[in-house]
Amino acid sequence: MNELSSKIKNKNSKNNHNDIKYKTLDIICDADTLRSLIRKNEVRVVDVRKAQDYLLEHIPTAVSLPLAQLLEKDTPQGIISILQDLGISDAMPAVIYDDTFGALAARVAWSFQYVGHINTALLELTFTRWKNLGLETEKKSNRFEKVNHSLNMNHTIYADASYVEHIKDQPGKILIDSRERLNFLTEHIPNAKNIPYTMLGSDDSILRSAREIKRYIENRGISTDSEIITYCGSVGTLSGLTYYAMKLAGAQNVKLYSKSFKEWKSLGKPKEEFRDANYWDLSAE
Q: Which residues bind another protein (CB under 8 A)?
A: 180-182, 185, 194, 196, 198-199, 203, 215-216, 219-221, 274-285
Query: Smallest distance, Å, CB 221 to another protein?
Result: 6
The residues facing 123 across adjacent strands are: 29
- Provide the 10 A C-beta neighbour count for residue 275: 8
| Closer residue to another protein (CB): 196 or 250 | 196
Of 96, 95, 5, 111, give the one whose Cα is nearest residue 42: 95
Query: Smallest distance, Å, CB 103 to another protein?
Result: 14
| Closer residue to another protein (CB): 2 or 219 | 219
Q: Calculate the CA 156 to chain-centre distance.
A: 16
Beta 63-64 vs 94-97: how paired, if at all?
Answer: unpaired
| Closer residue to another protein (CB): 135 or 199 | 199
d(CA 242, CA 106) in angstroms, rounded, equals: 9
Beta 63-64 vs 44-47: how paired, if at all?
Answer: parallel
Query: Smallest distance, Å, CB 199 to another protein?
Result: 5
Query: Smallest distance, Å, CB 176 to another protein?
Result: 12
* Contact residues for 26 (Cβ-Cβ < 8 A; gap 6+): 121
d(CA 17, CA 15) in angstroms, rounded, equals: 5
Query: Smallest distance, Å, CB 218 to another protein?
Result: 9
Query: Smallest distance, Å, CB 37 to another protein?
Result: 31
Query: Smallest distance, Å, CB 244 to another protein?
Result: 17
Q: Calculate the CA 154 to chain-centre distance.
A: 15
Query: Smallest distance, Å, CB 239 to another protein?
Result: 17
| Closer residue to another protein (CB): 25 or 249 | 249
The residues facing 81 across adjacent strands are: none
The residue type found at 166 is H
Cα-based distances in Å from 23 to 92, 247, 253 = 8, 20, 24
* Contact residues for 166 (Cβ-Cβ < 8 A; gap 6+): none
| Closer residue to another protein (CB): 2 or 278 | 278
d(CA 179, CA 197) in angstroms, rounded, equals: 6
| Closer residue to another protein (CB): 66 or 102 | 102
| Closer residue to another protein (CB): 13 or 277 | 277
* Contact residues for 124 (Cβ-Cβ < 8 A; gap 6+): 28, 29, 30, 31, 204, 205, 206, 207
